[in-house]
Structures are given as structure tokens and as C-alpha cells.
Structure 1
Amino acid sequence: MKEHGFTVLGFPCNQFGKQEPGQNSEILNGLKHVRPGGGFVPNFPMFEKGDVNGADEQAVYTFLKSSCPPVGSSFGDPADRLFWKPLELSDIKWNFEKFLVGPNGKPVKRWHPSVNVSTIRAEIRKYLLQMYTHDMFH
């Protein structure tokens, strides 16, 4: 998909179950040696850790969330799991919620964290094919 200009971007966050407690300098080693471990090194850019929800959320997430409808209305039981206030319907529900942003910078799609990666891959491929076909004939 890289031949079509597709890139994954990673944004670490500690607001979900406090699962990313390390400093920015520790995150890559944590991925490589702990979770998932086994020498894993991301093949995509990783940004500094920051908030995706609440009063201190990163501006990119304010933009993304305002551009795509929420992917569910329930947070489950937020006690001891979610670490921000106030809770908003448009908030990121859990780690690994995903957004697809087009080449023009406009968000196209948002996926709940429980959506299987094979479904997301198929939808991204379909989108890229439509983009490629549209560009080829226009």
C-alpha cells in the first residue's frame, strides 16, 4: 500500500487502563522487548505520547473526532479503565481505534477498536483502489 502513498501513524497514549506509562524514550524499547516483544519494531512513524481525549487532548484528535461520527455509544464501565474527563460520546473508546485520512488531509473513516484488522485492511484497499481509479480517469 506504500506505493499508493499510504502510511500508518502511531500515537501512544496512557488514558486507557494506564497501559502506556513509560516516558517517550522508553516506548520503543517497551514495544521491542515487552509488548508485543520478540524484537518488534514498528515500521511506521511513532509520535510522542499524548492525550487523545479530555481537556488536554492533542489538536489532531480534536480534528479527527469532529470529522468522523462516533463509533459506539458505550464506554463499558469506565471505572479504573478510562483516565480523562469529561467523557464525550465522540471520544476515542479504547486503544487502537483507527482513522483513515485521505491524501487531502480530510478524515474518511473511523473504526471501533474491536473491528478486525482484516476488515480494516479490506476497506483501506477498496478506498485506495477507488482513489487510484478516480485519478487514472480524471
Structure 2
Amino acid sequence: MTTQLAPSIYDFSATTIEGQSINFSTYKDKVLLIVNTASQCGFTPQYQGLQALYEKYADRGLVILGFPCNQFGQQEPGSASEIRSFCETRFGVTFPLFQKVDVNGKDAHPLFQYLTKAAPGLFGTETVKWNFTKFLVDRNGKVVERYPSLAKPEDLEKAIQKLL
């Protein structure tokens, strides 16, 4: 009998908003903050805080990965180019953005299936509750914390500093 090892964050790949496939092994030895995002959400202004964290800590190894998602109130209806343009012009986003994904259900991106199992939410629930749920991953690829939508990016700064 063979035992199958649980996947690592580095076993996944995703398609950037520009259409390129990226293997997450690219992010080895980096601290990752993975966020499901939306352009028409009450939490959308968090893009500004995420960008500020990225600018402050990218040179120390922080990478923020934004995954647009339209599963919550249809708050991300745009095309990839519309989403990218909105994020760049409205919030000056320079951190990596990816193609729109599902984060819940049978069509959830495998990365989010992994993240939600590795860091369940309140009362052990694995589903993502809303836009701007954040997953913090250490330099070894271990998911260390899940933060709800209400957690502002600046609230995560101390936890990020510890991992850097």
C-alpha cells in the first residue's frame, strides 16, 4: 500500500490575468498572501492596503497573489482585461493577479480546495465566506493563517513581518 503525500502549495499552478500559466514552485522561499478579490465589493478598497503591503515588503520576500472571484454577489463580473485595468488605474496594483476562479463548490480552483482544507475558517468550515478572504503562507509553503474579509491588510502586517 502506498501512501499519497498531501499536496504542497508548490504543486499548484494558475493562469495569470495576462493568460500565462505559472507554477507555484516559482514562489518557493517567498511569503505568500493569497486573496480572493472582487472589483465591486464593499471590501474592494482593501486593494489599496494590499498594494501598500506589497510595496513595503516585496523586497524582503512577500508576494501577494490576487484571485478575482465572481461567486459572491456577482461582484466581479468583468473580463480579465477589465479587472486588470480597474486594479491598475484605481488602486495602482502591481502584485500578481490571476484569471477569475471559483473558490467554493465543485468547480473551485484546486489551490483554493487545498487552502480551505489547510486553514479552515470559523468552526472548522472549509468554505470561503466572502471576497477578500486571505491566506498567509510561510517561506516553506505552509499555510499558517486564514483571515476573514473584515481583516484589513494592515492588520496582517505583524504576522507578515514574523514570517519575513
TM-score, normalising length: structure 2: 0.60
Aligned: 1:93 with 2:129: yes
- Aligned runs of 1:52-71 on 2, under 5 Å? 52-70=103-121
The answer as to 2:163 corresponding to 1:127 is yes
Query: Separation in 2 of the partners of 1:96 and 1:9?
Result: 11
Q: Which residue, 72, 79, 87 being the options, matches 1:23?
A: 79
More strand by share: 2
Pair 1:118-2:144 in alignment = no
Alignment of 1:66-77 (within 5 A): 66-70=117-121, 72=122
Query: C-alpha displacement at 1:32, in angstroms?
Result: 4.3
In the alignment, structure 2 segments of 5+ residues that lack a partner are 1-56
Decide whether aligned partners of structure 1 residues 31 and 2 sit closer, same or farther in structure 2, where only a CA change above 3 A counts.
closer
Q: Secondary structure at the match of 2:67?
A: coil
Q: Which residue of 2 aligns with 1:79?
A: none
- The answer on 1:43 being equivalent to 2:79 is no
Residue 66 (structure 2) pairs with residue 10 (structure 1): yes
CA contact (8 A) 2:119 2:146 kept: yes
SS in 2 for 1:15: coil
Unaligned runs of 5+ in 1: 74-87, 129-138
Name the SS for the 1:21 alignment partner: coil
Query: Alignment identity in percent?
Result: 42
- Output the amino acid matched with 2:113: T
Rounded to whole Å, the distance in 2 between the matches of 1:61 and 1:21 is 20
Q: How much has 1:66 moved relative to structure 2?
A: 0.8
Q: For 1:103 and 1:23, how far apart are their aligned partners in 2?
A: 32
Query: What is the one-letter code of the residue matched to 1:89?
Result: T
Equivalent in the alignment of 1:132: none
Shift, 1:28, TM fit: 1.4
Root-mean-square deviation (Å): 1.8
Structure 2 distance, partners of 1:13, 1:118, is 22
SS at match of 2:156: helix
Runs of 4+ in 1 over 4 A off after TM superposition: none
Secondary structure of the 1:9 match is strand
Q: Which has the higher contact order (CA 8 A, sep 6+)?
A: 2
